Amino acid sequence: MSTALAPSHDIAVGANPFSRRSVLAIVLIGTLLFVALLWMIGTGAGMGSPNNGKAHAASKGVTGYAAMADYLDRRGYAVRQVRNEGALDKAGLLVLTPPAFADGKEIEKIVSARRYTGPTLVILPKWIEMPPAKDQTEAKKGWVSLGGVQPPHWEGFLDTLSVRGSQFTKSEGPGRWHGVGLSGLLPDSKHIQSGGGTDLVQLIAGARDNITLAGFMDDGGYYPGLEPLARDRVLHSGEDEDLYPLVVVFEPDLFNNYGMASRSSAQLLDVLVPAMEVDDGGSVLFDLTLNGLGRSNNLLTLAFTPPFLAATLCLLLAAVIVGWRAFLRFGPPFAPDRAIAFGKRALVANAAGLVRRSGRLHLLAGPYAERSRERLMQALALPRTLDPEEAGEAIDRALAARHDDAEPFTAIVARLKAARRPHDLLKAARDLHALERMLMR
């Protein structure tokens, strides 16, 4: 029985098993994945979607405020979602949408720190969000169902205000609101949240004028945009012209995704935002830190944030250039020589290299001359009892008898021992070796 063997295609020793294109593809893909990983860690992308159905600007659920943020963005305002506490004191309108169980002292700290920086709009929560029912197969990510109401209790923030729920009868209309020259309908008339307090100036009223759905704090500031829209008398106006207004919205359905389906809510924003001293194209910040979506900065975050982003891009470009130069190097890689080669010749070469590197080459002159003298004494049959001087004179006489014009042995030995430069040492050694061959023939 015979078996046909397939021809072998062995790769030559030292050859590259990968093509240039394969290596380039592997390096590029690995580099891009590594940079993408650093970017995701630095920016927080890929760490979970903030569209969790809660009442904040990143939520597209019925209680969220993504529609409000998108509308203001389309109206030309510089809308930004803030997930870092350090950015809450920036100029512009700050929109706070804290949950029902938020820390009131933390809210007070944020609001108090920016009273002379920019206006603040606080929207109270009302609804309890529940996951969609199992039979709601068309529900998208972030959608919720409403499971009742729960007013907030923020101890330490605007303790002079009170929050209460109201229900309208059929004769009063299905949750109608009016104020600032506008009117509209709330999406739910069964659960309407309102508030009140001695320092609250009404801006938006419900079907009954004594129900306040939104208002601003009468805290001694001068608010030329809001005071003409007030439905109450302003008591402490004009004492502090540098103070920015604080507007409190008790009924979240005025501006959440549930209420922004109505044109009247959009028109209300068009009136309220400019009245809060926000210029066209001004900054509008939506806070996400109070909703548990805060993120602190780290070194990677700073690396991908201006002005440090420019330095990061320069470093990446330099790395690309270095990698490209390494990929296009001249010629194949050199195979390194063995540190200690095989064989007697390699052993001698290694020993000679060690002596040469040590800088003690001249120390070889004496032993080499003595070894040459011993070989010549044996070749000329000279007595072994002769001392070095007598042996040298005997070798000179033998050389003069054969070649009277040749340089004496003792002269060459003296020149060899006196040599200090490698060139002189090597010349004297060669002359001594030639003398040996001359006498040993």
Handedness of CA 142, 146, 147, 150 (dihedral sign): positive
Find residue 179's DSSP bridge partners.
182
Instruction: Tell me what pLDDT residue 3 has.
Output: 45
Q: Are 71 and 269 in contact (CB under 8 A)?
A: yes
pLDDT for res 305: 72
Q: What is the pLDDT of residues 394-411, one digit of tens each?
A: 888 888 888 888 888 888
Cβ atoms within 10 Å of 50's Cβ, excluding its own: 20
Between 122 and 338, residue with greater pLDDT: 122
Average per-residue pLDDT in the chain? 83
310 pLDDT above the threshold of 80: yes
Burial-class residue 435 by CB neighbours within 10 Å (0-12, 13-18, 19+).
buried
Task: Show the tokens assigned to 82.
Answer: 């803030």
Per-residue burial over 381-405, b if 16 or more Cβ lie within 10 Å, else e, is: ebeeeeeeeebbebbbebbeeeeee
Q: Domain residue spans in the chain?
A: 19-44+295-336, 50-132+140-294, 344-439
Banded pLDDT at 70 (limits 50, 70, 90): very high
What angle do helix axes 263-275 and 66-74 make, rounded to 10 degrees? 70
Taking the mean position of all CA atoms in its chain, how far away is CA 244? Answer: 36
Residue 110: burial class (beta carbons within 10 Å; 0-12, 13-18, 19+): buried
134-139 long-range Cβ contacts below 8 angstroms, 24+ apart: none
- Residue 33 has what pLDDT? 86
Does residue 244 or residue 327 have the better pLDDT?
Answer: 244
Give the SS3 label for residue 209.
Answer: coil
Number of alpha helices (DSSP H) and beta strands (DSSP E) in the chain:
11, 13
Mean pLDDT along residues 343-363:
75
